[in-house]
Amino acid sequence: PFQVVGGKVKKPGKRGRKPAKIDLKAKLERSRQSARECRARKKLRYQYLEELVSSRERAICALREELEMYKQWCMAMDQGKIPSEIKALLTGEEQGKAQQNSAKLAKAGKTEANSNP
């Protein structure tokens, strides 16, 4: 009744857990529950992807509008016209530079005044 396999003595019969009589109804219910969960995960994944696609589409539209605005500006400048937005940017930069220069001059004047007794 004993077998010798690879130097080990084996007893007849199966090892491990004996297959309990699996309740078929319980098994079917677990399978159904697993399928429900799988469908729910799939639905969530598709919702996430749809939201991602729509947000990217909105970003693309915004960028296209911005590109069109820049094209209009370029066409206007080719005709010798300066768009008001660019004028505002330039005057804002010039004012900023003038303020920086006046601040530098004021600092330079203070240091010269302090260095000469």
Closest by Cα among 83, 59, 60, 89 to 71 = 83
> The pTM is what?
0.50
Task: Give the count of domains, the chain.
Answer: 1
Residue 99 falls inside a structural domain: no
Containing structural domain, residue 43: 24-90
Model confidence at 19: pLDDT above 70:
no
Residue 73 falls inside a structural domain: yes
110 forms beta bridges with none
CA distance 103 to 95: 12
Residue 103 falls inside a structural domain: no
CB 9 within 8 A of CB 2: yes
Residue 95 falls inside a structural domain: no
Residue 102 falls inside a structural domain: no
* Structure tokens that stand for 72 in this block: 């209009």
- Summarised one tens digit per residue, pLDDT across range 46-81 is 999 999 999 999 999 999 999 999 999 999 999 998
Residue 42 falls inside a structural domain: yes
